[in-house]
């Protein structure tokens, strides 16, 4: 079990555009993905992008059955998504609160596409193609933004809805990293 350090907002490595993955099934890739799951689970995260641990590749993981940081969220299948492409399915957007392991202690209201189609491959270079909405759509957009060097505060439009988690959501478990 290897929990890697998660970079925090202000680190320029979080602002890079990630490189496509070109090699699959290597021991390095296997180790990276295992470390990312260990790191995400240790932090109770809903998702994690490789750039958050300083690896500048187009690789994100996400998914959970029940998540302490988002107790009301429906389950999202555990997924490794590589070289993703997102396409919104309509013009409709929803706003909901997000946090980020790279922005500890804060939450903000973020508008996102309500539903979208996404494609990419998994760690075995097998295709992934899904139409999703709700929290699943939000998680994918948040994680894929990390591959573009975008952190959720850059998406906030109403800064009256941005603040400390323990102030805005005092009922959330204070043992959560954020
Ligand atoms: Ni994040």
Q: Confidence band (pLDDT; 50, 70, 90) for 73? A: confident
* Rounded distance from Cα 101 to ligand 1 centre (Å): 6
Residues with CB under 5 A from ligand 1 (ion): 100
Residues designated catalytic: 143
Say which range, 19-23, 55-59, 74-78, 87-91, has the weakest mean pLDDT: 74-78
pLDDT of residue 178: 47
Summary mean pLDDT of the chain? 95
* Rounded distance from Cα 31 to ligand 1 centre (Å): 21
* Rounded distance from Cα 134 to ligand 1 centre (Å): 17
* Rounded distance from Cα 150 to ligand 1 centre (Å): 9
What letter does residue 66 receive in the DSSP assignment?
S
* Rounded distance from Cα 126 to ligand 1 centre (Å): 25
Query: What burial letters (b/e) apply to 121-148, b meaning 16+ CB within 10 Å?
Result: bebeeeeeeeebeebbbbbbbbbbbbbe
pLDDT of residue 105: 96
Q: In CATH, what class is 12-168?
A: alpha beta
Q: For 88, phi and psi rounded to 5 degrees? A: -65, 145
The contacts of residue 38 (CB under 8 Å, 6+ apart) are: 1, 2, 3, 4
Query: What burial letters (b/e) apply to 151-177, b meaning 16+ CB within 10 Å?
Result: bbeebbeeeeebbebeeeeeebeeebe
Q: For 20, phi and psi rounded to 5 degrees? A: -65, 150
Q: Tokens 């992008």: give the residue.
A: 49
Please say whether the beta carbons of 50 and 113 come within 8 A: no
* Rounded distance from Cα 178 to ligand 1 centre (Å): 11
What letter does residue 78 receive in the DSSP assignment?
E
Does position 37 have pLDDT exceeding 50, yes or no? yes
What residue ranges in the chain does DSSP mark as E strands?
47-49, 59-64, 76-88, 93-98, 106-113, 115-121, 127-133, 162-164
pTM: 0.95
């Amino acid at each position: 079990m290897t929990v890697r350090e998660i970079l925090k907002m202000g680190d320029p490595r979080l602002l890079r555009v990630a490189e496509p993955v070109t090699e699959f099934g290597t021991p390095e890739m296997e180790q990276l993905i295992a470390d990312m799951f260990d790191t995400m689970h240790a932090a109770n995260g809903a998702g994690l992008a490789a750039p958050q641990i300083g690896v500048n590749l187009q690789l994100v993981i996400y998914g959970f059955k029940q998540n302490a940081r988002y107790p009301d969220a429906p389950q999202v299948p555990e997924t490794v998504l590589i070289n993703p492409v997102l396409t919104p399915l309509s013009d409709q957007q929803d706003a909901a609160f997000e946090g980020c392991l790279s922005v500890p202690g804060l939450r903000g209201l973020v508008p996102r596409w309500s539903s979208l189609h996404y494609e990419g491959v998994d760690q075995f270079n097998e295709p992934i193609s899904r139409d999703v909405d709700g929290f699943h759509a939000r998680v994918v957009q948040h994680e894929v933004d990390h591959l573009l060097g975008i952190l959720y505060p850059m998406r906030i439009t109403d800064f009256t809805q941005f603040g400390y988690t323990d102030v805005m959501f005092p009922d959330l478990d204070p043992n959560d990293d954020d």
